[in-house]
Structure 1
C-alpha cells in the first residue's frame, strides 16, 4: 500500500472518530506510519485538500456503481433514484463486513456535513466522481415535476434526504448489525420526495394555519 493511501485511510479513521478539526496533520502522518511528520503536507498540502482527496478516493467506486445502476434502470421513478443514492453507499458497509475489515467512510461523511467548508454538498458535488449525484438530482427534479415543488422546497427535501441517509448509515457503521435497514431508508427517502405538500414547513406562519 502506498504512503498516500495509508495517509488517506488514517485520516478517514481519525476524522470519523475524533472530528475533522480535532486532529492535526502531524498526528495523521504518525498514525499512517510516516517517519516524516510533514508527510501529509507533502502529499496533500492542506487539510481541505486532504478532505477533497478522501472524497475522490471513496466516491470514485461508488460513483461507478451508481452509474451502472442507473444504466440498468432506463426509466427510473422516484424510488429507483433513491435506491441509486442509498444502495451503493450501504454496500460500502456490507463489502467491509464481508472482508472482515472496519469502515469509517460514512462516519467521516456525517462529520464532514457539520462544516460548510467540508460539506460534500458544497465541496464535492461538482467533482468528476460526483457525476452520478448530479444525474440523480436532475432525474429527481424531473420525476417530481408534477408536484410543482418550489426550488427551495425541493432543495430542503434533498438536504433532509442526504442527512437521513448519511447519518443512518453512519450509525450502522458505528454499531454493526443494528440500525435502519437499507429498504427502510429507501422507503423513507422516496416518501420525503414524493409528498405533494408544497408548503415550506420552516415558515413559522404555517404553524398558525
Structure 2
C-alpha cells in the first residue's frame, strides 16, 4: 500500500473537515468523524498535523480566505477611492465566488458561524485576517462610515453586523444549493439585494437617544 505524504494527509483532513463542519456545525462536529472521513487510522491525526481541533478549523478558514482573496484583491485594486456601496459590492462579489462549487458552498456554511471573530470590534484582526485585502476592506468600510458622523462604537458594531448579515445570507443560499432547494430569486437579484440591504444597514442614521431598557418581570 502506497504511503501518502504529510501534505496529502493534511489536505485530506482539511477536505474532510470542510464536509463535517458544514454538515454538523463548528461546535457539533466530532474530530473522530473528520479523521474517519479522511481515511486516517490514527485517531491523533488532527493533533499531529494541526496541533488541535481549533488549528484544523483555522486551516480550513485560511484556505477559504485565500480563495476569496484571489477574487477580492483585483477588485480593490480597481477601486482607488471607492464609495461605501462599491466596497460592499466588492465584498459580496468576492464572497459569492464561493457559491460556484461544492467546497465553496461548504465553507460558506462554516464561516457564517465565525463571522463575529473577525476582530473588527476591537480593531485586532483574527490571525488569519492580519495583513489581508479582506481586513483592509473591513477597515475601509468602517472608516467610510465616519463621513456620516456616526460614533466610533456604532461604526464598529455596524461593520461587524454587516459582516454577519452577508455571511448569514450567503450561507443560507449555500444551504439551498446543497439541499437542492429552489431559491426565491435568481442569484443576480439575490446578490444585488444583499448589497443594497447591507448598505442600508450601514447608512441608517444614528439613534437620537438610547432605547429604554426593558425591566424584567417580577
Distance 1:56 1:191, change over 3 A: same
| Partner deviation per Cα, 1:134-179 (whole Å, 9 max, x = no partner) | 2113322342222111111112211221121111111111102526
User: Following superposition of structure 1 onto structure 2, how do residues 1-209 of structure 1 map, counting pairs within 5 Å?
Assistant: 2-94=8-100, 96=101, 103-113=105-115, 119-122=116-119, 125-127=126-128, 131-176=132-177, 177-178=182-183, 181-195=190-204, 197-199=205-207, 203-205=210-212
Distance 1:136 1:25, change over 3 A: same
SS in 2 for 1:21: coil
Larger radius of gyration: 2
**What is the rounded CA distance, in whole Å, between the counterparts of 2:31 and 2:88 in structure 1?**
36
State the aligned residue count. Answer: 196
| Partner deviation per Cα, 1:52-86 (whole Å, 9 max, x = no partner) | 11111110121232111000122210011101211
Q: Which runs of 5+ in 1 are unaligned?
A: 114-118
| Partner deviation per Cα, 1:10-52 (whole Å, 9 max, x = no partner) | 1121112112232222221101111222211111111111111
**What is the rounded CA distance, in whole Å, between the counterparts of 2:41 and 2:76 in structure 1?**
44
Greater CA drift, 13-22 or 163-172 = 13-22
**What is the rounded CA distance, in whole Å, between the counterparts of 2:12 and 2:142 in structure 1?**
39
1:124 Cα offset (Å): 6.1
**What is the rounded CA distance, in whole Å, between the counterparts of 1:137 and 1:102 in structure 2?**
21
Q: Which runs of 5+ in 2 are unaligned?
A: 1-6
TM-score, normalized by length of structure 2? 0.79
SS in 2 for 1:106: helix
1:105 Cα offset (Å): 0.6
